[in-house]
Amino acid sequence: MRFKYSILFIFLIFSLKGTSQEITIKDFLILGVEVSEDVSERYLKPVSEGILYGLSSGWYYEAKVLQPWKFRFSIAANGSLVPSDTKSFNLDIAAIDNLEVLGGGQQVRIPTILGSRDSDVTFQATVDGQTFTFDAPTGIGLLQLDLLPTAFIHVGMGLPWKSEVQFRYFPKLGLGEGSVGVVGLGFKHQINDVNGPWKSIPLDLSLMGAYTRLDAEYNLAEGGFVTGPDHRIEGAMNAWLFELLTSTRYEHWNLFGGIGYVFGNSLYELLGTYQIDLPNRTLEFTDPFDVRENVSGMRLTAGGSYTFRRFSTHLSYTFQGFNNLTLGLHYNLN
C-alpha cells in the first residue's frame, strides 16, 4: 500500500504534519498474500487499538443528566498515549521465503504505522529468478507528546425519567484521495434521586452506554512494480462503552469519575486488483486480504470540570489499554 501519511486513513488529521511522505507496504505481495497480510496486521495494529480506545472516550463530564428537552452542545478532543513498545516490531527474515535484507541480517526491527518516519532497512525479494527491491514501511512520526488524536462534535438532549441521549458526529470529509466520518450514540440514566434523601448529598450517580463507528476509505497511489486498477483501502471501526459514573454537584468546580468496560473491533480491507509481472507469468491478486483487530478491557476515568453560567469545560484522564487524555468544551442551551 502506498499513501500519504498526512491522511493515513485520515484518522490522524488533527495532529499530523502535512508532508508528502509516503508509506509503502503493498510491495510485500511479491512474497504472497499470507506474508503481506501478516506484515500489514502487525504494522497497523497499534493505530487500530489506539483509535478504538479513543473512540470510546470523551462521552461525559458529569453524572447528572440534562432536564427533559434541554440541549447541550460539546466539542471533545482526545489523545491516546502511545506506548513505546508499539512503535516498532521485529521481522524474522529467516521465516520468510525468498526475502533478504540488503546488508545482511536475519532479524530486523521496522517501524509500525505509529513509529519513526525514518528507516534504513531495504528488502530484496527474488521470485522466478527476478529480483525486486523495496524499502521497509515507515511510520507517521508522531508529535513529541506521542498522542494519537480523535475529536468529535456532541449534542446531548435531556429525556424524561432522569435520562439523557447523546449524539456524536464528525462529518465525512474528503481529504486528498480519501475520506473519513464518525457517528455515535450514547444513553445516560441517572440512578440517584436528587429530590429525595439523596438531595443533601452533593453527589450524583449514573449508568451510561455508548457506541461509536468510524468509516474511512482511501484510493491508493499508483507506482512501483505492483500495478493494476482500482487500488484502495476501506476501513471501519466500532467501539462500545458501558460505565458507572459519579460526579460532585457544586455550582462551579466539580470532580467526576467512572469505572466501566470497553470493547471494539476494526476491519481494514485491501481492495482492487494487484498485478506483478514476472519473466514467464503474472501474479494477480484481487481484493487480497483484510486485517481485523479486537480490543476489550476495564477502564477507569477521573477528571474535573468548571462551569460558568451556560459554559463548561472539563479535563479527564482514562486508564485503559491506551491511556487517554480528554479536553471538552460545552454549551448548555436552556
Q: What's 186-227 look like in SS3?
A: EEEEECCCCCCHHHHCCEEEEEEEEEEEEEEEEECCCCCCCE
- Stretches where the chain sits below pLDDT 50 are 1-21
* Structural element, H or E, at residue 135: strand 130-135
Residue 30 per-residue DSSP state: G
User: Facing residues of 25 across strands?
Assistant: none
Long-range interactions of 96-103: CB distance < 8 A, separation 24+: 96/31, 96/35, 97/31, 98/31, 98/125, 98/126, 98/127, 99/31, 99/35, 99/123, 99/124, 99/125, 100/124, 100/126, 102/133
Percentages helix, strand, coil for the chain, rounded to the nearest 5?
A: 15, 55, 30
Alpha-carbon distance 50 to 115, whole Å? 13
CA–chain centroid gap for 334, Å, is 34
Alpha-carbon distance 163 to 160, whole Å? 6
pLDDT (tens digit, 9 = 90+) per residue, 276-293?
999 999 999 999 999 999
For strand 71-81 and strand 99-101, is the pairing parallel, antiparallel, or unpaired?
unpaired
How far is residue 203 from each of residues 14, 106, 124, 193, 312, measured CA to CA in Å? 35, 60, 64, 10, 18
Q: Is 102 helix (H, G, I), strand (E, B) or coil?
A: coil
> Residue 74 corresponds to which amino acid?
S
Residue 147: its pLDDT value, please? Answer: 80
CA angle 10, 213, 297 (to 5 degrees): 105
Residue 17: its pLDDT value, please? Answer: 37
> Among all chains, which residue has been given the C-alpha cell 476489550?
296
How large is the C-alpha radius of gyration of the chain? 23
Residue 225: its pLDDT value, please? Answer: 92
Phi-psi region of 49 (alpha: psi -120 to 50; beta: other; left: phi over 0): alpha
pTM of the complete model: 0.88
Sequence-distant (≥ 6) Cβ neighbours of residue 70 within 8 angstroms? 157, 158, 332, 333, 334
Alpha-carbon distance 334 to 71, whole Å? 7
Residue 176: its pLDDT value, please? Answer: 61
